[in-house]
């Protein structure tokens, strides 16, 4: 339960924040800032948890050997469940009229959106793994949160700025994102996670050989 409960709460709050702040994004573009700042707060709040709140990060941590398989499955289950609960609550609070708030690929190029989600997820995972493995791991919350702010503003217009498959599922249910585009979020999120974990592992291996 020490993994399940914190990951559920974190995923719930992130999805709720993303879904509700998107209401103002057309005029104020607050979603990346709200999303990133919430991540910072949650990572410092849940010290006993892994602090992942994202199936992509959990997958990357498992690929790097940081998380046992059973713990990874528990974490992902909690993240998805938290996102679904947040989706139900956000849909009630927003009383959505049935129109998607954030266009996934306004330029009619789903592959551009896929690349945006891939590279945003790659950046997040690589930053997270790098910071949490070094001496400056106390700054992991700030680094991950500000990375989300940066890629959210830089890539969010192309891909919606989720960089988190569980969050994308919840945001799709609340019609903040288009649920039909969920495959792009899943492929981009997990693909970026796997790529980030691979590059991180290779770089660490190479640095270890030079020391």
**May I ask the CATH architecture of the domain 4-209?**
Up-down Bundle (1.20)
| Residue 60 confidence (pLDDT) | 95
Distances (CA, A) of 39 to 102, 110, 178, 180, 184: 20, 27, 23, 26, 22
| Residue 158 confidence (pLDDT) | 82
| Residue 55 confidence (pLDDT) | 96
User: What is the Cα–Cα distance from 169 to 125, expressed in whole angstroms?
Assistant: 19
> What number of residues does the chain have?
211
Determine how many CB atoms are found less than 10 A away from the CB of residue 24.
13
| Residue 59 confidence (pLDDT) | 95
User: What is the Cα–Cα distance from 86 to 20, expressed in whole angstroms?
Assistant: 10
Q: Assign residue 161 a region: left if phi > 0, alpha if psi is -120 to 50, beta otherwise?
A: left
**Residue 59 · residue 46 · CB < 8 Å:** no
Distances (CA, A) of 111 to 13, 17, 153, 158, 205: 29, 27, 19, 10, 32
**Residues of the chain scoring pLDDT < 50:** 48, 106, 211
- Mean pLDDT, rounded, of the chain: 84
């Amino acid at each position: 339960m020490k993994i399940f409960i914190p990951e559920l709460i974190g995923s719930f709050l992130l999805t709720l924040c993303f879904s509700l702040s998107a209401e103002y994004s057309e005029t104020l573009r607050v979603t990346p800032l709200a999303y990133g700042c919430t991540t910072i707060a949650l990572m410092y709040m849940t010290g006993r948890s892994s602090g992942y709140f994202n199936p992509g990060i959990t997958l990357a941590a498992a690929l790097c050997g940081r998380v046992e398989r059973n713990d990874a499955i528990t974490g992902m289950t909690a993240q998805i469940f938290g996102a679904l609960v947040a989706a139900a609550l956000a849909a009630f609070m927003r009383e959505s009229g049935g129109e998607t708030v954030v266009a996934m690929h306004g330029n009619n190029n789903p592959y551009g959106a896929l690349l945006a989600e891939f590279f945003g997820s790659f950046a997040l995972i690589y930053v997270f793994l790098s910071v949490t493995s070094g001496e400056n791991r106390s700054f992991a919350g700030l680094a991950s949160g500000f990375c989300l702010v940066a890629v959210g503003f830089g890539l969010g217009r192309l891909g919606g700025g989720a960089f988190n498959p569980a969050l994308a599922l919840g945001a799709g249910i609340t019609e903040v994102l288009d649920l039909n585009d969920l495959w792009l979020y899943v492929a981009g999120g997990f693909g970026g996670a796997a790529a980030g974990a691979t590059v991180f592992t290779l770089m660490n291996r190479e640095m270890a050989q030079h020391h």
